[in-house]
Structure 1
Amino acid sequence: MKSIYKTKEGKKKCLELYDRQLKKIGAPYEDIYVDTSFGRTHLIRTGNKAGKPLLVFHGGNSTTAYNLLLCKFLLDDFDIYAVDIIGHPGKSDEISLSSRGYSYGKWASEVIDKIGFRNIMCYGGSFGGGVLAKLMCISPEKVERCVLEVPSGINNAFPISSAKMMIPLIKYIITKNEDFIIKTAMYMTNGEDIIDEDTKDILKDSFDNVKTKVAMPSNTDKNRMNKFKAPAFVLAGEYDCLFPAKRVIKRAKEIIPNVRTYELRGRGHMHILTNKEKQMIIDFLKEL
């Protein structure tokens, strides 16, 4: 099995960062491991055990620990099951699945079975949104309702649209000057200065230690997605270089029967949700 990390030392550093960031969520948590036909999968259970269960998928080349820092606003209300996407940095098996087809959806469907649910609410961002979109196609009955934030798998932009950020990334790889990490990230933030220490750490870790996955989950088939009847909430960034709102929202309305959409005005792929937007997400998930 080929490692997803560049070196053994790189894997060690990645998992050390994972554990440090996990502690920063400031809430009790437990590790869960389940066996799927694709490989062993790790989840973090945290949040409010009296709340409704919520399965959370993180972004690509990132970790569920970092994603939980972004999703802290959900911890008071929901019983969170945050999964390490198989083949990505974290504690699941290093078995990479194809971004095309529906393998990620089949894997996610098995995860739901293994953690003991017939159906569950789901939340996915970026790459994780694409995994969730595949799940919605493969096992629509297992997703009670869902939130997809700047998701892949709905209407991805052409790869050339993200080519500009490769220039500062290449400069960072050559020079190791961390200023170029910020410049790379700024392309994804639409120029907003929102790169905090944890974001910088996860980006540096990804560039230094992980064999970066460029391919995102491919666009889902309309006929498959039309079978998903549960409520879905799609949020897309106006200036997202990977999954722009004008493409994502238009197609989401075409292929998801029961969808609510929201444009993150003025923002790119990496962004900060306002308190009002966070409450919108919480309210949507708590609707009967």
Structure 2
Amino acid sequence: MLGEFIDKNAEERFFATYDAILRKWPVPAEELDIETRFGPTRVRSCGPEEGPPIVLLSGGMGTSLSWYPHIAELAVRHRIHAVDSIGEPGRSIQAAPIESTEDCADWLAEVVDGVLAGTGHEKAYLAGVSRGGWLALNLASRTTDRIAGVVTVEAAGFGVIGRSFIWWSLREIFRWFLPKWFLRLMSSGDPDVRHTVRPLLLAALKYKQRLPEMHLFGDDELSSIDVPTRIVVGERSVIHDAPAVAARLGSLSPHIRVEVVPKATHGLSLEKPGLVTARILESVREHHADATE
């Protein structure tokens, strides 16, 4: 079974909204369709071609456009590749079922191979939010042949996602309908971003996903990751116990560094976008410097 919109009208409304938000992309970009065995995957590439490549993976239903507030700074010295994940609403076109976590890893590996082809770069950095973080770790725990490093923000895979996440999501969506001045008082981050992405998220709810469940990472999987990995979690996350995640991973692998952000929730990338951008740039700068010494 393939992911699909519930009807043609829902699809058309989604892409009209998608194209409107795309106009906010702050720098010139090249649209690429990378062929994979699961279908062509849309990647938006920008920044200097000689810069260290960073592959950006969004949260569920987020699309590559969720990264637009971060792009101007990220693309100054790096080649950025923002991905519309296959099997989710976006410009990628699913052509074959994704039935397992192995399929998820195979798809992402093909995307990374595609963005690196002909560039002269042998490896890329992966940065992912929520489900995007899970996708990055899911691949890195299997192979790091083409991965230079990983940064995740509130990645799934460290706790069972249940009712608390649903209630948090409903409250968060409600806030997005508040006037900007009131939203600024209630939540950290830029209210303009929430108001911008709100219609796309609502339109995406009419897309039927048919993806495998995101499994919880075992110690063996995580300890097998042999590239520098920074895992950023919110102290008030509703998808895992952040202090427990930090305690567990802190002694699991010398390659993994964990940061718990005080007072942050699962919406960390919206609440503290500057911190997210900074952590990606810091990680790439540190790891790239080490690799070239």
Code of the aligned partner of 2:102: Y
Partner residue, 2:153: 149
2:26, 2:68 within 8 Å by CA — same for their partners in 1?
no
Q: In the aligned structure 2, how far is the partner of 1:105 from the partner of 1:70?
A: 25
Q: Please tell me whether residue 269 in structure 1 is matched to residue 273 in structure 2.
A: no
Partner residue, 1:284: 283
Secondary structure at the aligned position of 1:141 is classed as coil
In the TM superposition, residue 79 of structure 1 has moved relative to its aligned partner by 0.4
TM-score (norm 1): 0.82
User: How many residues are matched?
Assistant: 272
Aligned alpha-carbon RMSD (Å): 2.9
In the TM superposition, residue 10 of structure 1 has moved relative to its aligned partner by 1.8
Partner residue, 1:126: 130
In the TM superposition, residue 263 of structure 1 has moved relative to its aligned partner by 1.2
Secondary structure at the aligned position of 1:223 is classed as helix
2:45, 2:79 within 8 Å by CA — same for their partners in 1?
yes
- Shifted more, 104-113 versus 7-16: the winner is 7-16
1:122, 1:147 within 8 Å by CA — same for their partners in 2?
yes
In the TM superposition, residue 35 of structure 1 has moved relative to its aligned partner by 1.2
Mapping 1:151-190, distance limit 5 Å:
151-153=155-157, 155-165=158-168, 179=174, 182=177
CA distances 1:212-236 after superposition (whole Å, capped 9, x unpaired): 6598622223323322211111110
TM-score (norm 2): 0.80
In the TM superposition, residue 253 of structure 1 has moved relative to its aligned partner by 2.9
Q: In the aligned structure 1, how far is the partner of 2:56 from the partner of 2:169?
A: 29
Q: In the aligned structure 1, how far is the partner of 2:62 from the partner of 2:199?
A: 10
Q: Please tell me whether residue 26 in structure 1 is matched to residue 29 in structure 2.
A: no
Aligned residues with identical type, % of pairs: 19
Change (3 A) 1:13 1:264: same
Q: In the aligned structure 1, how far is the partner of 2:208 from the partner of 2:243?
A: 27
Partner residue, 2:236: 239
CA distances 1:124-152 after superposition (whole Å, capped 9, x unpaired): 11110000011102222221111111111
Code of the aligned partner of 1:161: S
Q: Please tell me whether residue 253 in structure 1 is matched to residue 250 in structure 2.
A: yes
Q: In the aligned structure 2, how far is the partner of 1:168 from the partner of 1:96?
A: 33
- Shifted more, 124-133 versus 202-211: the winner is 202-211
CA distances 1:33-78 after superposition (whole Å, capped 9, x unpaired): 1111121111000123332111111111111012233444312121
Change (3 A) 1:145 1:246: same
Mapping 1:66-215, distance limit 5 Å:
66-94=66-94, 97-98=98-99, 101-115=101-115, 116=117, 118-153=122-157, 155-165=158-168, 179=174, 182=177, 192=187, 194=189, 196-210=191-205, 211=207
Q: Please tell me whether residue 40 in structure 1 is matched to residue 40 in structure 2.
A: yes
Partner residue, 2:226: 229
1:149, 1:236 within 8 Å by CA — same for their partners in 2?
yes
Partner residue, 2:181: none
In the TM superposition, residue 274 of structure 1 has moved relative to its aligned partner by 6.3
2:60, 2:131 within 8 Å by CA — same for their partners in 1?
yes
Secondary structure at the aligned position of 1:108 is classed as helix
In the TM superposition, residue 273 of structure 1 has moved relative to its aligned partner by 2.4
Secondary structure at the aligned position of 1:262 is classed as strand
